[in-house]
Amino acid sequence: MTAAVPVTVRSTTRGARAVGMLRATGPAGIASAIVIAVAIFMAIFGTWLAPFDPITPNLSLAWVGPTGAHLLGYDFEGRDVLSRLIVGARTSMLGPLAVVLGSMIAGALLAVAAAWRGGTLDAFISSGLDVLFAFPGILLAVLAAAVFGAGLTAAAIALSIAYMPYVARVLRGAALKERSQPYVAALEVQGASGPSICLRHLIPNIMPLIVAQATILFGYAMVDLAAISFLGLGVQPPEPNWGVMISENQVGIPQGYPLPALAACVCIVAVVIAFNVLGERLFEQAQAAPR
Amino acid sequence: MQTAVSRGIPSRQLIRRHVLRNAAIPITTVAGITIASLIAVAAVVEVAFSLNGLGAYLVASAQSKDLAVVQGISLVLVTAFVVINLIVDVLYAVLDPRVALGSRAQ
């Protein structure tokens, strides 16, 4: 035990590393990051940005097409589609964010605990997650809506539980690999406690993987939450939300007014593709980069 | 693989019997999970195209808090998932003789 083991190497600041990680994802990654940034901006400042009232209906304007001031026209109740898209970004982004945070925190803790303790606990957690694995998120969310009432909270909690095994499986593998690294043994020799090594050294070291996983998961969560809102079990109308907008305006598609529904579809697809592309790139980096 | 090639097995048989057989195992896993999620997502399709299927019924009863119906339908769906997983597990043994079923494992 003579060789000094570098525990955590931080050559640059956190912000500079994040920029470097992003730059290494290439043009597609940067384009995705821009799309995501716009969506986040809309989610935060949407209520002040929206040019028109997104909620009050005006039936005399129902299905009116695009005009100069209303770039995307009006929806089935005569509300400005663009305003609804901008304001709806908040609920559309907040739900997946809650799902990602919930499933990542729970999944990471379970995965690290399983990898750290091994043995019975590992077997217990792994088999429990295998059971959850076979259960689709949408079904769990529908059941949660039936029991706790329709709403974003119930759906988000259900999806967090449904996504947890995907997170935990990947992170458990990574944590197992990290567990056998020499720095962990060095810390143990120094007398650091298990939880402290896990929280202060092991989790920061698998952080790139966690970030990449969270990014990919965000896309999946967005699709599933949009589907749930579409079914009428998530965000409740007249609250603007991209999934709600599709279900409200889908009657317009066969009637020859596809724009309101399609505009919401395009928003969801664009953001999900952006998150998937960025997530895949970050994932490749996290797997390739020696830490 | 190399052994099989050196034994002079025709390439068609080689691919079908040796490559496909080994490649089929992860495919089965993914197929099982995909089918399970497709059953659930069918609810969305049924609502979108107003087909009166099990999924649309589940969503409607979830909205009206008709718990007995929700319970019944989810029981049916979960049974379907269990059966699919069972088929996947049995297929493992068919595809890969090293995976033994049941008591033969000991």
pLDDT, position A99: 95
**Cβ atoms < 10 Å from Cβ of A136:** 21
| pLDDT level of residue A224 (50, 70, 90 thresholds) | very high
pLDDT at residue A87 above 70? yes
pLDDT at residue B65 above 50? yes
pLDDT, position A1: 42
Mean pLDDT confidence for B70-95 = 88
pLDDT, position A225: 92
Mean pLDDT confidence for B21-48 = 85
Mean of pLDDT over chain A: 87
d(C-alpha A164, C-alpha A129), whole Å: 8
Q: Which residues of B touch A139 (CB under 8 A)?
A: 40, 43, 74, 77
Angle, nearest 10°, between helix axes A152-179 and A137-148?
140
pLDDT, position A237: 84
> Side-chain half-sphere of A214: how many Cα atoms within 13 Å?
18
The answer, for A149 touching chain B at a CB cutoff of 8 Å, is yes
pLDDT, one tens digit per residue, over B84-94 is 888 988 888 88
pLDDT, position B101: 64
Maximum Cα interatomic distance, chain B, rounded to a whole number of Å: 67
Q: Amino acid identity, residue B95?
A: L
Q: Which residues of A touch B43 (CB under 8 A)?
A: 138-139, 142, 231
pLDDT, position A61: 85
User: How far B35 CA lies from chain A's nearest CA (Å)?
Assistant: 10
Residues of B with CB under 8 A from a CB of A: 32-33, 36-37, 39-41, 43-44, 47-48, 58-59, 61-63, 65-67, 70, 74, 77-78, 81-82, 85
Q: Which residues of B touch A230 (CB under 8 A)?
A: 44, 47-48
Could you say which of B43, B48, B67 has the minimum Cβ distance to residue A138? B43
Mean pLDDT confidence for B63-85 = 89
Residue in A248, A80, A232 with CA at minimum distance from that of residue A152: A232
Interchain proximity A145–B67, CB inside 8 Å: no
Query: Under DSSP, is residue A72 helix (H, G, I), strand (E, B) or coil?
Result: coil
pLDDT, one tens digit per residue, over A91-123 is 999 999 999 999 999 999 999 999 988 889 889
> Side-chain half-sphere of A77: how many Cα atoms within 13 Å?
13
Phi, psi of A95 (to 5 degrees): -60, -55
Residue in A102, A125, A283, A119 with CA at minimum distance from that of residue A209: A283
Q: Is the dihedral of CA B66, B71, B72, B77 positive or negative?
A: positive
pLDDT, position B105: 45
pLDDT, position A70: 82
pLDDT, position A266: 94
Interchain proximity B74–A143, CB inside 8 Å: yes
Element (H, E) at B73: helix B67-95
Among A142, A143, A148, A262, the strongest candidate for a mutation testing the B interface, having the largest count of B CBs within 10 A, is A142
pLDDT, position A179: 86
pLDDT, one tens digit per residue, over A249-291 is 988 888 888 899 999 999 999 999 999 999 988 888 887 765 5
Interchain proximity A145–B62, CB inside 8 Å: yes
Which region holds residue B96: left if phi is over 0, alpha if psi is between -120 and 50, else beta? beta
Among A130, A231, A246, A248, the strongest candidate for a mutation testing the B interface, having the largest count of B CBs within 10 A, is A231
Contact A241, A234 (CB under 8 A): yes
Q: Which residues of B touch A133 (CB under 8 A)?
A: 33
Element (H, E) at A160: helix A152-179
The answer, for A131 touching chain B at a CB cutoff of 8 Å, is no
| pLDDT level of residue A165 (50, 70, 90 thresholds) | very high
pLDDT, one tens digit per residue, over B43-60 is 888 888 888 888 889 888
The answer, for A265 touching chain B at a CB cutoff of 8 Å, is no
pLDDT at residue A185 above 90? no
Phi, psi of A182 (to 5 degrees): -60, -30
Structure tokens that stand for A65 in this block: 């097409």
d(C-alpha A29, C-alpha A147), whole Å: 40
Interchain proximity B77–A147, CB inside 8 Å: no
pLDDT, one tens digit per residue, over A27-78 is 888 999 999 999 999 999 988 888 888 888 888 888 888 887 788 888 888 8
H helices of A9-151, where?
Answer: 14-23, 26-49, 81-117, 119-133, 137-148
pLDDT, position A12: 61
**Cβ atoms < 10 Å from Cβ of A20:** 10
Predicted complex ipTM? 0.74
The answer, for A138 touching chain B at a CB cutoff of 8 Å, is yes
pLDDT at residue B5 above 70? yes
The answer, for A232 touching chain B at a CB cutoff of 8 Å, is yes
Residue corresponding to tokens 């959850």: A132
| pLDDT level of residue B106 (50, 70, 90 thresholds) | very low
pLDDT, position A208: 87
d(C-alpha A162, C-alpha A154), whole Å: 12
Q: For the whole model, what pTM was predicted?
A: 0.82
User: How far B21 CA lies from chain A's nearest CA (Å)?
Assistant: 24
Long-range pairs for A46-51: beta carbons < 8 A, 24 or more residues apart: A46/A86, A46/A87, A46/A88, A46/A89, A46/A90, A47/A87, A47/A90, A49/A86, A50/A80, A50/A82, A50/A83, A50/A84, A50/A86, A50/A87, A51/A80, A51/A82, A51/A83
Chain mean position to CA A62 = 34
Residue A238: is the preceding peptide bond cis (ω within 30°)?
Answer: yes
Structure tokens that stand for A283 in this block: 């994932």
